[in-house]
């Protein structure tokens, strides 16, 4: 164990959590940037090796770890019941929290850090980017299936771990405040982007208005539907488990769908500076739409299905707006690696929105194709 790990309390956490067997070793694991993640091995009495994931939660971002873990435990308990009813494998098809020895779902160490642990999912892999269309399709089926399994879960019972996370009108108000304050004197250089966003103010209100009127139902949503949050079976190539449930909250199904499109069907990287490379790949859009609707298996309402393209556009628009807001506020939220990085990210998102608008009728037709 390194001095850094000792100081961060990993040894204390290993002792405090209810792992089974005799400790063998641990290594840093994964490519996440939010939590500190370790893979730990324990030898069982029968000689088998049991593996676990141990994480130090980032309570600077997630201010209330207790509420966060209550969300995760409630959702995964519900999923285990559903998976058991269908004859599935609860060790591989959902996350399984390992409680601390005091019975809590997390451990609060003497330095103030919060730790939690899960069973490790063997013989599965996740991908940081779309390398094969089949993997993007499998992520769509998996996130759709996640929606389907949780269709009758009471979303109102969940805490908002990050309040107003996808409340686009609230994000727009924050953006306008950043423009008005202009603390870093950057507003003048981004007038085209400011005008682009202001022109679409009414669209930013559309989904939340439909939620208020009940035309769009409140759902359990993942809120971080990137490809790397799906575990894919190494042998079959099938998506088997949705992971990283930190942002599971009440929300709109179309936002989970839309964020996947924003991330996975863009022909360019998120911070591409050559905007001529940025467009919506309609083949990937169709592939994801097909898989998502298959996974949902009829659990979405007609209005939700009709609004899927708007979910994709709105999540892209919101993300671009958040990048621009951070640029105006001095790059305090998103990590940057060069001057103007958040502005580059913003422009990529807005170019993708523009391309979606040009392909709107084709996007709508693709959705209709899989709902006839």
pLDDT in tens, 83-138: 999 999 999 999 999 999 999 999 999 999 999 999 999 999 998 888 889 999 99
- How many CB atoms lie under 10 A from the CB of residue 119? 17
> Rounded mean pLDDT of 276-280?
98
Q: What is the pLDDT of residue 60?
A: 79
Residues 3-121, CATH architecture: 2-Layer Sandwich (3.30)
Query: Is the pLDDT higher at 161 or at 182?
Result: 182
Q: What is the pLDDT of residue 8?
A: 61
Q: What is the pLDDT of residue 334?
A: 86
Q: What is the DSSP letter of 45?
A: T
Q: What is the pLDDT of residue 33?
A: 63
Query: Which two tokens mark 147?
Result: 């929606």
Q: What is the mean pLDDT of the chain?
A: 94
Burial class from Cβ neighbours inside 10 Å (0-12, 13-18, 19+) for residue 218 reads middle
Q: What is the pLDDT of residue 330?
A: 96
Helix residue ranges, H only, 52-152? 65-85, 90-93, 133-149
Q: What is the largest CA-CA distance in the chain?
A: 68
Q: What is the pLDDT of residue 6?
A: 47
> Over 90: is that where the pLDDT of 156 sits?
yes
* Model confidence band, residue 2 (pLDDT cutoffs 50, 70, 90): low
Strands (E), the chain: 22-28, 36-43, 49-57, 97-98, 107-108, 114-119, 124-125, 219-221, 230-233, 239-242, 249-251
Burial class from Cβ neighbours inside 10 Å (0-12, 13-18, 19+) for residue 268 reads middle
Q: What is the pLDDT of residue 44?
A: 95
Q: What is the pLDDT of residue 129?
A: 81
pLDDT in tens, 305-357: 999 999 999 999 999 999 999 999 999 888 889 999 999 999 999 999 999 99
Query: Which two tokens mark 124?
Result: 């599965």
Report the alpha-carbon distance of residue 122 to residue 7 in Å, rounded. Answer: 30
Domain extents in the chain? 3-121, 133-369
- Least confident range of 73-77, 172-176, 187-191, 269-273: 269-273
> Over 60: is that where the pLDDT of 36 sits?
yes
* Model confidence band, residue 34 (pLDDT cutoffs 50, 70, 90): confident
Residues 133-369, CATH architecture: Alpha-Beta Complex (3.90)
> Over 70: is that where the pLDDT of 5 sits?
no
Q: What is the pLDDT of residue 37?
A: 92
- Least confident range of 6-20, 65-79, 95-109, 204-218: 6-20
Q: What is the pLDDT of residue 141?
A: 97
- How many CB atoms lie under 10 A from the CB of residue 19? 18
Helix residue ranges, H only, the chain? 3-8, 10-16, 65-85, 90-93, 133-149, 168-181, 191-199, 201-212, 253-264, 282-296, 302-306, 308-328, 341-358, 360-369
């Amino acid at each position: 164990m390194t001095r850094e790990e000792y100081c961060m309390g990993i040894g204390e956490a290993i002792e405090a959590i209810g792992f089974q067997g005799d400790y063998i070793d641990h290594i840093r694991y994964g490519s996440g940037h939010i939590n500190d993640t370790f893979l730990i091995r324990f030898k069982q009495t029968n000689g088998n090796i049991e593996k676990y994931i141990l994480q130090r939660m980032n309570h600077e971002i997630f201010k209330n770890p207790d509420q966060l873990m209550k969300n995760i435990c409630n959702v995964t308990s519900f999923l285990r019941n559903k998976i058991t009813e269908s004859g599935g494998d609860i060790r591989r098809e959902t996350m399984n929290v390992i409680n601390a020895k005091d019975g809590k779902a997390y451990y609060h160490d003497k330095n103030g850090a919060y730790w939690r642990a899960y069973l490790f999912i063997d013989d599965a892999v996740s991908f940081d980017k779309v390398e094969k269309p089949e993997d993007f399709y499998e992520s769509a089926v998996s996130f759709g299936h996640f929606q389907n399994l949780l269709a009758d879960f009471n979303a109102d019972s969940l805490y908002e771990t990050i309040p107003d996370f996808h409340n686009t009108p609230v994000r727009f108000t924050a953006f306008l405040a950043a423009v008005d304050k202009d603390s870093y004197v950057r507003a003048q250089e981004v007038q085209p982007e400011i005008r682009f966003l202001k022109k679409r103010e009414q669209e930013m209100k559309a989904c939340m208005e439909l939620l208020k009127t009940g035309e769009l139902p409140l759902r359990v949503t993942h809120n971080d539907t990137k490809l790397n949050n799906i575990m894919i079976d190494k042998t079959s190539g099938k998506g088997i488990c949705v992971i990283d449930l930190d942002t599971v909250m009440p929300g709109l199904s179309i936002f989970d769908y839309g964020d996947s499109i924003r991330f996975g069907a863009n022909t360019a990287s998120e911070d591409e500076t050559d905007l001529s490379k940025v467009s919506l790949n309609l083949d990937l859009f169709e592939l994801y739409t097909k898989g998502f609707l298959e996974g949902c298996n009829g659990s979405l309402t007609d209005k939700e299905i009709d609004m899927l393209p708007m979910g994709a556009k709105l999540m892209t628009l919101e993300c671009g707006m958040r990048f621009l807001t951070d640029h105006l506020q001095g790059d305090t939220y998103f990590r940057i690696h060069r001057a103007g990085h958040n502005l580059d990210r913003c422009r990529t998102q807005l170019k993708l929105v523009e391309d979606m608008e040009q392909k709107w009728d084709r996007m709508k037709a693709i959705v209709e194709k899989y709902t006839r």
